[in-house]
Structures are given as structure tokens and as C-alpha cells.
A and B are shown apart, each in its own frame.
Chain A
């Protein structure tokens, strides 16, 4: 057994340990902490699987932003903790455990018995990379070969926002989401926010920009930008905009809207819906991605902030 394999086995074991902790631990807050640690470790696995783009996404969204979301909810629901009376009985839990183990075993067997050599679209995606002029194959799949999925997924983000906002009390409709954070302007959080935000923004933009040819891209960059915005609002340096704001709404649909417009241009003047003329492919894709990174950062930030709760009036101390 090579050192690399030993490392991988250890990584998998620790990951599973964290997963079990997350499921069985009594306190919800501890489970959330366990999940955040799990999310960061999963990113390492993705690196070992040679999927750096996914590793960045998992670290930023799966571990980071989901973690913040869950921790925030756990903190708010802490008073509601004693709810154990509804726990299913022993028999039900045993049945659930047995069936879950059976599923795991079947799935493991199926994965191990997959055919060799494995079918792959890697050669095809490399062979067709000329059409976009971008050398990151994952970006090519997302933006060209399977652009439809990416476009529809942007619409999913818009719907998630509509869904979260629709939960506002009628009195707060059009107002600002989430509670207003009041942090000590000279405290540690504000200091950290002032220090980290500029760095984070630069890193976010870099991760996005490099995505054309190297691992990275709109999702990953957007997630980093969103977390910087979050830090700033938590430190009280910025406030969430009111959801009725027209510019805000424009930003939220910029990614999917531009994608749709470019797609329709392809339908009218080019080869097909969502096709790019080879000469224009790179600037068009980068243009869509610029809009997308803005949209993603804003959407993720607003999803973390929750439903509108306050009036649109700016907060005055």
C-alpha cells in the first residue's frame, strides 16, 4: 500500500467519523459544527479526485456558505432544542438503519463493478475545446456543451430567491432581509471585516477570472465574494438592500438574462440556441460569466440573509 493510498484511507475514515458524529450527536449545534468540518474535508477528497473546480465549489459553497447558513439557523433555533419526544421508536430506527446499510452495500458493490475501461467524455470535450477558446474543460462543459443546464440552474437561483422572499410577513414585503447586525465598529469583527474584505474580493475576482483556463470560475468566485459581503454585513459595515430595489433585482437576473439573450442571438443569427460564433465565443462566454459572478454573489448573499423582516428605511443609530 502506497503512502498516497494510506493517506486516502485515513482521509475517508476521518470524513466518515465526522459524518457519523453529525448524524448521531445529541445537540443540533454540535451536529452543525461537525457538518462544517465535514464540508472542508470533502474539498480535500475532491482534490485527490483531481477535480479542483469541484473542490473549490465544495469548499466555498458546500462547506463555507452552507455552514454559515446552518450555524445561523441552529443558533436561532437553540431554544427549540428539547424536541426529543418525537424521536422514532427503536424498531423504526433499526429498520431505517438496516435499509440504509443495505443501500450503502448495494451502491458500493455497483460502483466497484462499473465497467473497465470506463466510458468518458473527456476526449470529446478536449477535442471540441477549439470552439470556445477556453482551456478549462469544466468551464467548457458548463458554458458551451451543457449550457442549457447552467442557464436553467440560474433560473433555479432566481426561484430560490422568490421562494425565500415569499415567506416574508406582508408588512415587511419590499423591506430588508434578515436582522440588522450591530457590531462594535472598533471590535474584532469589524477589524477582521476591514482587513479581510479587500483581500477576499481580490481573491474572489481572481478565482473567477482564472476559471477560463484554470480551475475556478463564476460559481467559486461568486461564493467567495458572497462570503465577503456577508462578513461586512455581520460586522455592521454594510446592510442588506431592500428587496424591492430595482437595481438589486436587475443584478439578480443579470446572469440568467444575459445567458438567455446570448442564447437567443445564437438562435436568430448563429447556428443554434446557446451556440457561439467561434470568433466571438470567448468574449461572449466571459461576458456571461461576469454577469453570472455578480448574480451568484448577490444571490448567495441574499439567500443567506433570509426573508425580508424589516422596513426599507435605512437603519439609523
Chain B
């Protein structure tokens, strides 16, 4: 089956794709030359331009049959390299632009970010623009090797952000992150080599028409998938994520947790939904979703046991990454092949919703940390009164993330639940519901502590910065309103769905999530409840005692297991084992 000719020629508006990459790259180079004094101004000038380009692509896409193509150097694939944008690219470009701008405003209002250091702001702004360039290249890249270079660009921009503060633990986290990510890239590259050897092209569109289920392709698919999983930090390949995301400065953590892991996730979607459609995806999809369910359970339980807010939020990222992988089995069609339907749309909306909410959460936690001088969860009593904007941001982002209406997560959940019903895989519906409850658990845990009265009056170490806090709040609001946006021109969403967002039924669902989350928080969190002194609580505690001891025992076991999995040799072996498992499952199905 030859590729349609329309997708092999530059379309109108194609230059927008070039600009989406070139503008942030130019920002990087310019600020590198003009040095420390102008770097912030350059970044703040690049941001509106980049955002305008993303919006222009968003507007141009429906005009061009849902595709924008640009042939670089006017060379057509397979010899040349093409840039292509579809609905997935367009929404990711827009979401990225919004998050980068919000984080930029947050960091710019936070001046000076590290008093006395010219090194930190210089590195931060240059790397922020580099991450933008890398992500945009990933979203519009039409060639697997170009995507590899973009992936490396992303890693090179992300790793130094982790160790900006220069403490030994952050340096160790950065080194671990770099090495594990590099091994992941090599796996991806190995698969790329095999695909070139089989088909003589790395163009995604050409490959999609040439690939068939031969043994070499199955091996390549397994290698590339596990390499990308390592970069996305899907359980059990997550050893690098918690220390890296918890150790970076707040603005950097927001980018790392919100955006950077979505880069490799997006390539994974490209790989499975564009390149490898001909493969028997059933078993592989079940494996990916099983790992995802494992991530939800382990990430959430360990998050509930953290005594530092930043680590709690980092472990929550681990769980949320797992949630994204539930889309794979739900996208299967009747023949056991992957299909671009509502499940893919749901997964992507969930990714965007997590990106916006998690970035807002990390920024809020950063403000709390700066205000209190610490982020111990048992010591944040009274924060709601002292830092109302930050706590409100955390709450709104948390509500969006746990799937309350009209958040993006609730729309995503509806879409995915729709597909569990269609494909008859009810067990994944359970995982989806539990995912929401677990999210509710750790969000409520933090909120209850923040709303409780303080032991002693809160003495702020630093005054809250209004600009920063408003940027974070705006992003949290974005996340909470995602469910209201018109997604249909870009993503395959059934029209009947959006009207169901409000109503009694959805209210009941939200209530169940919140109640389930409360129960989980009480059973699994080891922290003394702030209302512990009251009489009613004592009665409740007597009834719940045995259950809670069991829950805490289980939590302790999970935490110990997590510590074993985060050892380097174990994680490395897991990576190889996942590769073998994926390959074997596809051979079995073939």
C-alpha cells in the first residue's frame, strides 16, 4: 500500500512547523552569546512568539484536512526528512506553549531566583528554551532518527536542570538520570537501526505503509518501546525519577514532571499508533497497561508515605505516568490491532491534563517551600491561611487531576471508560477508578494538613510572590477547565460525550472518588491526622485500628519493594526483562 501523495508534499502553512522549532532554537543560541544579562529578556520575548506559532498551527490544522506537512530542504522522504503535524501534535504544541509560558512567568516573577548566582538563571533560561525546541521537534518530527536527536536534545536540556542547585544528592540524581536515559536512547537507536535495515527508510509515514509483522520488526518494537519506557520512567523503570524531580528547583521540577516525560511518551504513541499498526498489539498492550497499573498502586502508596511534599508530588507523577499507559489495551479493535480512537484521545487529554496540573502543583509546592523554609507534610498546618494562593493552586490542580468536573482528567476518564465497555475489558475500568481514588487520597492528605490549625503561629521565611503564585494558579485553572474545550477538530471524540460532563451522575462519581480517596488516605498514610485530638476521631480510630495497621503494613512492604526496584542493577535487569517480555508476547501472538 503506497503512502498517499498529499502527505509527501509540503502543504500550506507548513512553514509554521519549521518556525515552531527554529524560534526556541534561535532563543537558545542568542542567549548563549549575549550571556547572563539578557537571557531572561530573550526568553520572555521568545515565549509569546512561540505561543503564537503554536496557536497558529492549532488554527491552521482544520483548514488543511487535519494535516500539515513540510519537507525540509525540499527533499522528500525517504532521502529527506519531513515535518508533519496532526491533531495530536497540534494539541501537544499548544499545551507545551501554555505550560512553558506559565512556568516562565513564575520563574521571572521570582527574581532573583537564586540570589547572588548568575549561573543558575543563565542555565535555567537557556535550558527552558532548549526543552521547548526539543519537545516541538518531537511533536512534529516525521522521521525516527530526527526524533532520536530531539530525544537527546531533551535529555541534555533536562539533566542539568536537576542539578542546578549543585548539592551532592541532586548531582547524584542527575547522573543517575543521565545514565539511565542514555541506555534508553541506545535501545531506541538499536530498534531504529533494525527498521532501517528492514525497510530502507526511517520516515514514519513510509514505514507505516511498509511495516508488516515480521520477526525483525517485533524485536525492533520491543527494543524501542522499552527504551522509551526507561525515558518515561514507567514502573519498574522509574529509579531515576523521584530524586531527580524532587531535587530540582520548583520551576525546573514543573517542567521535568509536567513536560519532559511526555516527550518520550509521545514518541511511544507515534511508534505504536503510526509505525507499528500492523503488529499484533494485544499482548504488548496488556503488558504496558499492567505495568501502568503497577505504577498507579506503587506510586500512589509510596506517595502517601512521603514526609516531604516535593517527594509526594514526584511519586504522584510516577502513578500518573502509569495511568497514561491504560490507554493501550483500550485502543484495540476487534482484530487485536491498535486503532486511533477515543482511547488514544483520552490518553492524550490525560497527558495534557497531568502536564498542566502537575506543573501547577510543583510551582505551588515550591512557593510553600520558599514561604515556610521547609516542605515537611506534618509541618504545613496553617499554610492555607498564610499562603492562600499556593494552597488554592494545589487544591485546584489536585481536583483536576483526581477527575472532578470539568477537568481534563474527568473527560479522559469518561473516554477511557467508554472504551472499556466497548472492548469488554472491565478489569481496566477498575484500574481507572482506583487511579482516581488514589489521586484523591494524596491530594486530600496534603489539603487536610494545610487546612489544619498550626501548632505554633506560622512565621514566613519569605514573602509570597504574587506574580509567581498567579501564574501557577492560572495553570491550575487551565487544567480544571480542559474538559470544556472543543477537542473534536483535533482528537477522535464522540460528540455525545461532552454533554455528560455535568449532571447528577457525574456528581455521584466525583463523590465516590473523594470518599474512596479519603478511605485510602486514612488507611495508607502513616502521618498522624491533624484532627487527632477530637473525640469523634478517637472513636473512629478504635474502629479503624486493625484495618489501618494492615494498610500500613502493606504500605511498608510496597515501599520496601520500591526501594529494591530503584537499585541500579535491578532496574537494569528489569529493563532487559521488559524487552524480552514484550518481544516474547508479540512472537506468541504472531
Interface residues of A (CB under 8 A from B): 88, 92-93, 95-96, 99-100, 102-103, 106-107, 110-111, 113-115, 118-121, 124-125, 128, 144-149, 152-153, 155-156, 158-160, 162-163, 165-170, 173-174, 244, 246, 249-250, 252-253, 256-257, 260, 263-264, 266-267, 271-276
Q: Is the CB of B29 within 8 A of A260?
A: yes
User: Which residues of B, 160-204, contact A by the 8 Å Cβ criterion?
Assistant: 160, 163-164, 166, 171, 190, 194, 197-201
Asked, given contacts A103-B579, A249-B33, A260-B22, whether A272 binds B72 with beta carbons under 8 Å apart, the answer is yes
Chain B residues touching A, majority SS: helix
Q: Is the CB of B153 within 8 A of A155?
A: yes
User: Which residues of B, 109-155, contact A by the 8 Å Cβ criterion?
Assistant: 116-119, 122-123, 126-127, 130, 133, 137, 145-146, 149-150, 152-153
Residues of A within 8 A of B558 (CB): none
Residue B434 is within 8 A (CB to CB) of chain A in the complex: no
Residues of A within 8 A of B81 (CB): 145-146, 148-149
Residues of B within 8 A of A110 (CB): 194, 215-216, 219-220
Residues of A within 8 A of B197 (CB): 111, 114, 118-119
- Compute how far the CA of A57 lies from the CA of B493 in the bound complex, rounded to whole angstroms: 50
Asked, given contacts A121-B78, A275-B73, whether A162 binds B32 with beta carbons under 8 Å apart, the answer is yes
Residue B79 is within 8 A (CB to CB) of chain A in the complex: yes
Residue B583 is within 8 A (CB to CB) of chain A in the complex: yes
Residues of A within 8 A of B157 (CB): 159
Interface residues of B (CB under 8 A from A): 10, 15, 18, 22, 25-26, 28-29, 32-33, 35, 70-75, 78-81, 116-119, 122-123, 126-127, 130, 133, 137, 145-146, 149-150, 152-153, 156-157, 159-160, 163-164, 166, 171, 190, 194, 197-201, 215-216, 219-220, 567, 569-570, 572-573, 576-577, 579-580, 583
- Compute how far the CA of A310 lies from the CA of B190 in the bound complex, rounded to whole angstroms: 41
Q: Is the CB of B198 within 8 A of A244?
A: no
Please name the 9 residue pairs, one residue from A and one from B, whose CB atoms are nearest each other, closest first.
Answer: A119-B200, A99-B576, A166-B123, A88-B569, A163-B160, A272-B74, A271-B74, A159-B156, A173-B119
- Compute how far the CA of A170 lies from the CA of B117 in the bound complex, rounded to whole angstroms: 6
- Compute how far the CA of A165 lies from the CA of B120 in the bound complex, rounded to whole angstroms: 11
Q: Is the CB of A156 within 8 A of B72?
A: no
Residues of B within 8 A of A158 (CB): 28-29, 32
- Compute how far the CA of A78 lies from the CA of B461 in the bound complex, rounded to whole angstroms: 43
Which residue of A96, A169, A170, A272 is within 8 Å of B573 (Cβ)?
A96
Q: Is the CB of B160 within 8 A of A166?
A: yes
Residues of B within 8 A of A120 (CB): 200
Known: A147-B72, A169-B166, A273-B15. 17 other contacts (CB 8 A): A99-B573, A99-B576, A99-B577, A114-B194, A121-B79, A121-B200, A146-B80, A160-B156, A162-B32, A163-B156, A166-B160, A167-B163, A167-B166, A253-B33, A256-B25, A260-B29, A274-B73
Residues of A within 8 A of B156 (CB): 156, 159-160, 163
Residues of A within 8 A of B145 (CB): 146, 149
Min CB distance B154 to A, Å, is 10
Residues of B within 8 A of A152 (CB): 25, 137, 146, 149-150, 153
Q: Is the CB of B219 within 8 A of A162?
A: no
Q: Is the CB of B15 within 8 A of A267?
A: yes
Chain A residues touching B, majority SS: helix
Residues of A within 8 A of B569 (CB): 88, 92-93, 96
Which residue of A96, A121, A160, A266 is within 8 Å of B576 (Cβ)?
A96
Q: Is the CB of B153 within 8 A of A159?
A: yes
Instruction: Report the nearest B residue to A144, measured CB to CB.
Output: B73
Which residue of A92, A124, A256, A276 is within 8 Å of B29 (Cβ)?
A256
Q: Is the CB of A100 within 8 A of B127?
A: no
Residues of A within 8 A of B572 (CB): 96
Residue from B10, B149, B197 with most neighbouring chain A CB atoms (10 Å): B149
- Compute how far the CA of A118 lies from the CA of B32 in the bound complex, rounded to whole angstroms: 44
Min CB distance A171 to B, Å, is 10
Question: 15 A-B contacts, Cβ less than 8 Å apart?
Answer: A96-B573, A96-B576, A103-B579, A113-B216, A114-B197, A152-B146, A156-B149, A158-B28, A159-B153, A163-B156, A167-B163, A170-B116, A253-B33, A272-B10, A275-B74
Q: Is the CB of B73 within 8 A of A155?
A: no
Residues of B within 8 A of A156 (CB): 149, 152-153, 156
Residues of B within 8 A of A125 (CB): 79
Residues of B within 8 A of A88 (CB): 567, 569
Q: Is the CB of B160 within 8 A of A162?
A: yes
Min CB distance A183 to B, Å, is 30
Min CB distance B133 to A, Å, is 7
Which residue of B10, B79, B130, B164 is within 8 Å of A124 (Cβ)?
B79
Asked, given contacts A96-B573, A99-B573, A152-B146, whether A113 binds B215 with beta carbons under 8 Å apart, the answer is yes
Asked, given contacts A92-B573, A162-B160, A256-B29, whether A274 binds B119 with beta carbons under 8 Å apart, the answer is no
Residues of B within 8 A of A159 (CB): 28, 126-127, 130, 153, 156-157
Q: Is the CB of B146 within 8 A of A119?
A: no
Residues of B within 8 A of A257 (CB): 29, 33
Instruction: Report the nearest B residue to A86, measured CB to CB.
Output: B568
Q: Is the CB of B73 within 8 A of A153?
A: no
